[in-house]
Amino acid sequence: MKRNKQNPDFVHIGRKLLKWYDSNARALPWRNTKQPYNIWISEIILQQTQVKQGLNHYLNFVERFPDVQALAAAETDEVLLYWKGMGYYSRALNLHKAAKQVVEDFNGNFPEKYEDILKLKGIGKYTAAAISSICFDEKIPAVDGNFYRVVSRLFADDFDISQSSAFKYFSELSMMMMPENKPGDFNQAVMDLGSEICRPKKPDCGSCPLNENCIAFQSGTVHKFPVKLKRTKTTDLFLKYYFVHHKNQFLLKQRADDFIWKKLYEFPDEVPVEFEQFVENSTVVKHKLTHKNLTIQIETVNLTDEVDFISLAKRNHFNVVDFSESKKKSFPKPLENFIDKWIQRPTEIK
């Protein structure tokens, strides 16, 4: 298909998609509102979670933080706690910072222009386009991996999506399909089509409203698209922790660095050398993050009654927490699993 801004086929496909969306849009709680705050929260949650799992997280989050003011005024620990179960905690920290930006730099009013929305911490081009099109009718395609997949299949387009120019390329292509009215609905239609029908694996082409127009489907080449030539490299990472416990308490500290798990709680990664004599056992846990394979070694240290646990913690700048209170803190998933298992162990071997 010739890429020409006047090509009526592009507009025709866009309209067809809108028509399909009118009667097939998923009923989701954030679809009943045009409040940018709600659209923003839902978009950030959906970047990392399937709609089915994300729904409850969204409802809990907006119930506790119903607007940007409530989120800006909250303590960081509480925001992280409400993010529990979704991972990617840096996104929660960015949400919190952006809420403060809205209060401080925009007088508490969520910015309406795409360029202003982009200034908020953690909001990239995709999210800014989704918010500005859905809430403020700006005609900007919300282009992400979903978009690349649907559009490259539709036009059997072999443009390599791992290239940095892919965003500009697919944005231009999408602009040609985007009808003048309802840009927000158009973006949501592509989101729904990509997640429900034009799925990465096993697309349901038989139910697709665009199958007559889809060049990949018509030519039996759906499996060839999208084309991604460069694979992202995965790195290995080793972490060591000391799980120091005494009676019903254990030591923890808050992670500061920007590398991974910023502001989450973790066990100490080093302890005074005299602790070595109390090491009971060693556990190795494997965990995958995006582009990182973690190997985590946890040394369990059971301090005896002769050790003054509290003053020792103070001297070494560690925090002490009761096992019963640990659920109120946010830990990286592998450490949370470790604590849960520990709590569930029969008492005689604790």
Residues forming the active site: 43
Q: Which is nearer to ligand SF4, 199 or 328 (CB)?
A: 199
Q: Which stretch binds ligand SF4 (CB under 6 A): 104-112, 196-204, 236-244, 285-293?
A: 196-204
Residue 17 engages ligand SF4 in binding (rule: CB under 6 A): no
Q: Which is nearer to ligand SF4, 218 or 295 (CB)?
A: 218
* Nearest partner of 82 among 59, 48, 101, 49, judged by Cα: 59
Selected from 51, 156, 205, 320, the binder of ligand SF4 by CB under 6 A is 205
Selected from 110, 217, 243, 267, the binder of ligand SF4 by CB under 6 A is 217
3-state secondary structure of 295: strand
Residue 203 engages ligand SF4 in binding (rule: CB under 6 A): yes
3-state secondary structure of 213: coil
- As measured in angstroms, the least distance from the Cβ of 216 to ligand SF4 is 5
Instruction: Identify residues 135-154 at the interface with ligand SF4 (CB under 6 A).
Output: 150, 153-154
Selected from 71, 129, 140, 197, the binder of ligand SF4 by CB under 6 A is 197
Hunting for tokens 């403020």 — which residue is that?
136
User: CA torsion sign, 148 to 137 to 104 to 54?
Assistant: negative
What number of CA atoms fall less than 13 Å from residue 42's CA on the CB side?
A: 21
What number of CA atoms fall less than 13 Å from residue 102's CA on the CB side?
A: 27
Q: Which is nearer to ligand SF4, 93 or 189 (CB)?
A: 189
DSSP string, 266-293: E--S---GGGGGGEEEEEEEEEEETTEE
Q: Are strands 319-322 and 249-254 parallel, antiparallel or unpaired?
A: antiparallel
Residue 198 engages ligand SF4 in binding (rule: CB under 6 A): yes
Selected from 214, 301, 303, 312, the binder of ligand SF4 by CB under 6 A is 214
What number of CA atoms fall less than 13 Å from residue 38's CA on the CB side?
A: 16
Q: Which is nearer to ligand SF4, 105 or 158 (CB)?
A: 158
Q: Which is nearer to ligand SF4, 151 or 166 (CB)?
A: 151
Q: Which is nearer to ligand SF4, 184 or 203 (CB)?
A: 203
- As measured in angstroms, the least distance from the Cβ of 23 to ligand SF4 is 17
Query: Using an 8 Å Cβ cutoff, are 116 and 162 in contact?
Result: no
Categorise residue 14: left if φ over 0, alpha if ψ from -120 to 50, beta otherwise.
alpha
Residue 36 engages ligand SF4 in binding (rule: CB under 6 A): no
How many residues bind ligand SF4, per CB under 6 A? 14
- As measured in angstroms, the least distance from the Cβ of 51 to ligand SF4 is 18
- As measured in angstroms, the least distance from the Cβ of 166 to ligand SF4 is 18
- As measured in angstroms, the least distance from the Cβ of 210 to ligand SF4 is 5
> Which residues face 252 on adjacent strands?
319
CA 298, CA 190: separation in Å to the nearest integer?
45
Q: Look up residue 109 and give its two tokens.
A: 């009013």
Helix, strand, coil tally for the chain in percent (to 5) = 50, 15, 35
Residue 250 engages ligand SF4 in binding (rule: CB under 6 A): no
Selected from 211, 254, 283, 302, the binder of ligand SF4 by CB under 6 A is 211
Instruction: Identify residues 327-346 at the interface with ligand SF4 (CB under 6 A).
Output: none
Q: Are strands 292-302 and 279-289 parallel, antiparallel or unpaired?
A: antiparallel
In the complex, the residues that contact ligand SF4 under the rule CB under 6 A are 150, 153-154, 197-198, 203, 205, 208, 210-211, 214, 216-217, 222
